[in-house]
Amino acid sequence: MSAIASSKAVTVTVNGVEYEREVEARKLLIHFVRDDLDLTGSHIGCDTGNCGACSMIVDGQLVKSCMLLAVQADGASIETVEGLAEDGELTALQQSFSDHHALQCGYCTPGMLMSATALLRTNPNPTDEQIKKALQGNICRCTGYWNIFEAVKAVGS
C-alpha cells in the first residue's frame, strides 16, 4: 500500500495565487483544488467526466478537472469560478445568470460559468447552436438549460 500512497510536490497558480503542496499521486485535480487548496467553488457531479461541474480553465484550456490528476497540473495556471468576480463585482456573465434565473441550486453553476467564459473568450458572438454545443458537456438537473442558454446569449450578443 505504501506504493499507492506515494506523493509528489506540485506547484500550481490558481486565480493568480501560487500554491505548492505535496500531493498523493492518485489524487484528482478537482480534489486537490477543493480539499487541499480549499477552493470549493468547483464541484463534483459524477465519476465519469460527463457532468462538467468540475470545469476549470487550465493554461487557457477548458478542462474537466476530474479527468486530470493533480500531478499532471504541475506548473499550470488554473482559473476557477472564484477568480471570475473582482472584489465581489460580478462579471457580466455571472450577473446575466442571476438576471435570467439560470441557476436554481447553483451546483452546476460554477462549471457552467467556466464553460461559457471559455466560449465567450474565443467566440464573443456565438450562434445559438454554438452556445448549446459549448454547454453540452455541462449537466444541470434543475433548470432545463433554457434560462442558462438565454443568460449566455444575452452576454454574447
- 33-41, 79-87, 97-105, 124-132 -> range binding ligand FES (CB under 6 A): 97-105
Tell which phi-psi region holds residue 101, choosing left (phi > 0), alpha (psi between -120 and 50) or beta.
left
Beta bridge partners of 55: 64
Q: Which of 12, 42, 73, 79 forms a contact with another protein (CB under 8 A)?
A: 42
* CB of residue 86 to ligand FES, shortest distance in Å: 24
Instruction: State the binding partner of 89 from ligand FES, another protein, none, CB within 5 to 8 A by kind.
Output: none
Least distance CB 58 / ligand FES (angstroms): 13
Give the residue, chosen from 39, 54, 63, 120, that forms a contact with ligand FES under the rule CB under 6 A: 54
Q: Which amino acid makes up residue 15?
A: N
